[in-house]
């Protein structure tokens, strides 16, 4: 069982490289980048895994402060489980202290949902993580909605946010980072009641 002194592994899911940077599928990277900026850290290549990491603390100074390792897997989305599990083991992080921040098709754009455990809902990053370490990790699900018309899901998630969506994107990424901080500081139920929409 985990306790308050255990570190947290916050995993922003996405695909590496500039071609993918603004895609819907990369919103996890966007949230991880903002959290890194908030703690004054810069991502560096991990020694132990195909990933970039930042170590630091989230929360007010004192006992409420949480040690965190922010992670952006550099393995492509469908292989995220390998680097995440390697880092979980290296930093000795309990699985229930792993948080995946990811795009979610079945949640409307602009909405957030936090949960612990569950299925992968066809999300290749979650599928890979669950296969590597089981389903008992937290998820911060950033709603992107369903593709319009007959557009294929794969095409939709690998497209950039629309100009209309981009008007709100910075605010929504900021809110998602707040939700991660609330989850660490106050627990899942409090974060759900504050941020689930």
Give me the active site residues, please: 25
Query: And the tokens for 64?
Result: 């409420």
Q: What SS3 class is residue 112? A: strand
**In angstroms, rounded to a whole number, what is the distance separating the alpha carbons of residues 153 and 166?**
19
Question: How far is the CA of 32 from the CAs of 15, 41, 73, 118, 185, in angstroms?
Answer: 13, 11, 11, 22, 17
HEC readout, 51-92: EEEEEEEECCCCCCCEEEEEEEECCCHHHCHHHHHHHHHHCC
Which residue, chain included where needed, has tokens 């899942």?
A: 188
């Amino acid at each position: 069982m985990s306790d308050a002194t255990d570190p947290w592994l916050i995993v922003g899911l996405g695909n590496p490289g500039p071609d993918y940077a603004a895609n819907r599928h990369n919103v996890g990277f966007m949230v991880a980048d903002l959290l890194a900026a908030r703690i004054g850290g810069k991502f560096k290549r991990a020694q132990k895994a195909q990933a970039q990491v930042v170590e630091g603390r989230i929360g007010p100074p004192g006992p409420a402060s949480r040690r965190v390792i922010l992670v952006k897997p550099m393995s492509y989305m469908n292989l995220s489980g390998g680097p995440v599990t390697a880092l979980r083991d290296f930093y000795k992080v309990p699985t229930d202290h792993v948080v995946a921040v990811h795009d979610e098709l079945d949640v409307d754009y602009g909405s957030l949902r936090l949960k612990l455990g569950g299925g992968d809902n066809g999300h290749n990053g979650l599928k890979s993580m669950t296969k590597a370490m089981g389903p008992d990790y937290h998820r911060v699900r950033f709603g992107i909605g369903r593709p319009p018309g007959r557009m294929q899901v794969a095409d939709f998630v690998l497209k950039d946010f629309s100009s209309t969506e981009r008007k709100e994107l910075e605010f929504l990424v900021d809110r998602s980072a707040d939700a991660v901080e609330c989850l660490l500081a106050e627990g899942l139920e409090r974060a759900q009641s504050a941020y689930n929409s």
